[in-house]
Structure 1
Amino acid sequence: MSDAIGSFADTLREAIDRRGLALHRVRDRLAHRGVVISVATLSYWQSGRSVPARRGSLAALPHLEEILGLEPGELGRALDATRPSPDGPPCLTSLWPDHADVLARLDTRWDAELDRLVLHDLLRVGPDRRLASMTTRQVLRATADGPDRRVILHHQRDSSVDLPRIRPVRGCTLGRVVRRRTEGVIAAELLFARPLRRGETVLIEHEVTSVGPGPLDLRHGRRARTSMREYCLEVEFDPTALPASVSAYCGEDAWPVELDPSHTAHLVRSDAPSGSTGLSWTWPDADPS
């Protein structure tokens, strides 16, 4: 068993898949033990639309673990990890306290109701060592009925250049956009095609493109409000402008990363923890300033 604890829905669904049991078979085996759980309820549990909460439902978990070949207490631990803490997850402005005024101009009410399952960033650095573009693809899952947008915030440390342009690519359209040139910040709403239902997922993709010369940033990372299932970061360098070194970091840990034959460095984190994760690089003749 992995030390990482997944969501209750994922743990249950994967166990059912491994056993190759249809939901009505799981229901029948529970009924043999005197436990009455409907197929609809099992379906809601494995999709994430609901979790066991009543005494009878919680009493069914040890029986489910035996039927599905799980370790004793495995579903209970996954359920505890899925439940929000009494204080709830950190708010979006806690990640960007210096830009609270920017976020206040956007609709961030659904941020805490969207779990980011998969996030993939692809950065392209041009021959001038400046960031040319970044394409971001993410898979989100609603934890409540109603989410209809995702708020994104892009911060470039080099505030001497123009802010980039944000372009929706797939699964979303552009809502309100707020720019702060002097702070190097642009934030925007990515609107879904329709509001999501609880447990429903959506795949969206957008591109951030430099207007004129891009920033001379030397790192890219993500500040995660909560843990995500998978984070993949790629930085593709122009073959005429290769870095002297590339390092990956996650929280306080850092380690060197090699370029592949396509001049790309990448980082993949499964069950990426909350906090800051990313890549940084240096140039062979960089000015120390």
Structure 2
Amino acid sequence: MSDAIGSFADELRLAIDRRGLGLERIRDHLDQRGVSVSVATLSYWQSGRSLPGRKASIAAISQLEDVLALERGHLRRTLPLTRERPRRCVVRDLDDLWPDPGHAEVLHRLDTRWDAELDRVTLHDVLRLGADRRQHSLTVRQVMRARSDGPDRRVVMHCQDDTSVGLPEFRAIQGCELGRVERSVEHGVAGAELLFHRPLARGETVVVEYEFVAHDVGPLESEYTRRLRMPMREYLLQVEFHPDALPATTIAFTDDHESVIDLDPSHRGHLAHTDATPGTTGIRWTWDDVNNG
């Protein structure tokens, strides 16, 4: 990790110890000041797993300094300027990436301590839809590199808008075993810990492959979105449609751009990003008629 992250984390941790407040109490004090920062985010900040980076997070620092009885600017000055931060240290807070209560409910029951210690190298998603226009499976292959000694798992999430059907089954294919699985059927969210075969050493890479498979009936969705927490060398998404159920349009999108894409002879549409930055991206589709199943 960089000295800048350690400096901010060390100062925050010392201030919390001196003040004698738990993270939940600090969160409550911030709430009273109209600032929303989760316990998980505070934990990431004090452990050095992430830095405040969003405008809202930076704005919250002055209120955090007041809560901790610090001189105004004490914590703020330990944060490096954006242009000074190494590219690989740009990490979105998990609560920023998964802001809905249902997502947080599942995520906070899983062990995410190593997530920011795994650099994303490449990621390949293949989503398959059936003749019923429903999502049948998603296969994911990812290459990651350890930023420190010790990472032994990766937490993955699934969410669907269609809560009228059950959540899919997680399956580990290679490079990992399935650990704890948490679900919120009401919110259409599931998460799982993928356990590596052994802890990684700093600089070591790991290849994991896993899939989500629908039970009897898959969810009826109109898009697939991938949330990228960290920079990544390459991201590839392929959406495969059944030949008896081809969409009227397919559109690739990011946070600030979208474009129409064509299907190939195998009825697949794809998008590819190199040097991908944190944010959301994906493919959405429409049908010729209003009856989606």
Q: TM-score w.r.t. structure 2 length?
A: 0.68
> Could you give the per-residue CA deviations for residues 58-114 of structure 1, whole angstroms, max 9, x where no partner exists?
xxxxxxxxxxxxxxxxxxxx99534636xxx22222211222221111100001101
Q: Which aligned pairs between 1:229-268 and structure 2 lie closer than 5 A?
A: 229-268=233-272
Verify the 8 A CA contact 2:129 2:241 in the aligned structure 1: yes
Q: Partners in 1 of 2:107 and 2:284 — Cα distance? A: 26
Verify the 8 A CA contact 1:91 1:112 in the aligned structure 2: no
Verify the 8 A CA contact 2:88 2:231 in the aligned structure 1: no
Residue of structure 1 in register with 2:110 after alignment: 106
Tell me how far 1:195 sits from its aligned partner. 0.5
The letter for the 1-side match of 2:212 is V
**Which of 112, 117, 122 in structure 1 is aligned with 2:121?**
117
The letter for the 2-side match of 1:282 is T
The letter for the 2-side match of 1:208 is F
Gaps (5+ residues) in structure 2?
Answer: 1-82
Tell me how far 1:221 sits from its aligned partner. 1.4
The letter for the 1-side match of 2:92 is P
> Could you give the per-residue CA deviations for residues 208-265 of structure 1, whole angstroms, max 9, x where no partner exists?
0001110111100111112211110001100000000000001110000000001010
**Which of 130, 134, 137 in structure 1 is aligned with 2:134?**
130
**Which of 151, 175, 182 in structure 2 is aligned with 1:178?**
182
- Partner of 1:186, secondary structure, is strand
Q: Which aligned pairs between 1:11-30 and structure 2 lie closer than 5 A?
A: none
Q: Partners in 1 of 2:96 and 2:238 — Cα distance? A: 26
**Which of 90, 93, 96 in structure 2 is aligned with 1:91?**
93
Verify the 8 A CA contact 2:87 2:231 in the aligned structure 1: no
- Partner of 1:222, secondary structure, is strand
The letter for the 2-side match of 1:209 is V
Residue of structure 2 in register with 1:273 after alignment: 277
**Which of 213, 219, 240 in structure 1 is aligned with 2:217?**
213
Q: Partners in 1 of 2:237 and 2:181 — Cα distance? A: 25
Runs of 4+ in 1 over 4 A off after TM superposition: none
Q: Partners in 2 of 1:248 and 1:96 — Cα distance? A: 21
Question: In 2 relative to 1, CA 82–131 (structure 1 residues): closer, same or farther, beyond 3 Å?
Answer: same
Verify the 8 A CA contact 2:173 2:210 in the aligned structure 1: yes
Aligned-residue CA RMSD (Å): 1.6
Q: TM-score w.r.t. structure 1 length?
A: 0.69
- Partner of 2:243, secondary structure, is coil
Verify the 8 A CA contact 2:88 2:119 in the aligned structure 1: no
Tell me how far 1:157 sits from its aligned partner. 1.0
Q: Partners in 2 of 1:79 and 1:197 — Cα distance? A: 27
The letter for the 2-side match of 1:181 is V
Q: Partners in 1 of 2:88 and 2:275 — Cα distance? A: 17
Verify the 8 A CA contact 1:92 1:111 in the aligned structure 2: no
Verify the 8 A CA contact 1:91 1:225 in the aligned structure 2: yes
Larger-gyration structure (1/2): 1
- Partner of 2:89, secondary structure, is coil
Q: Partners in 1 of 2:240 and 2:95 — Cα distance? A: 30
The letter for the 2-side match of 1:84 is C
Q: Partners in 2 of 1:80 and 1:251 — Cα distance? A: 22
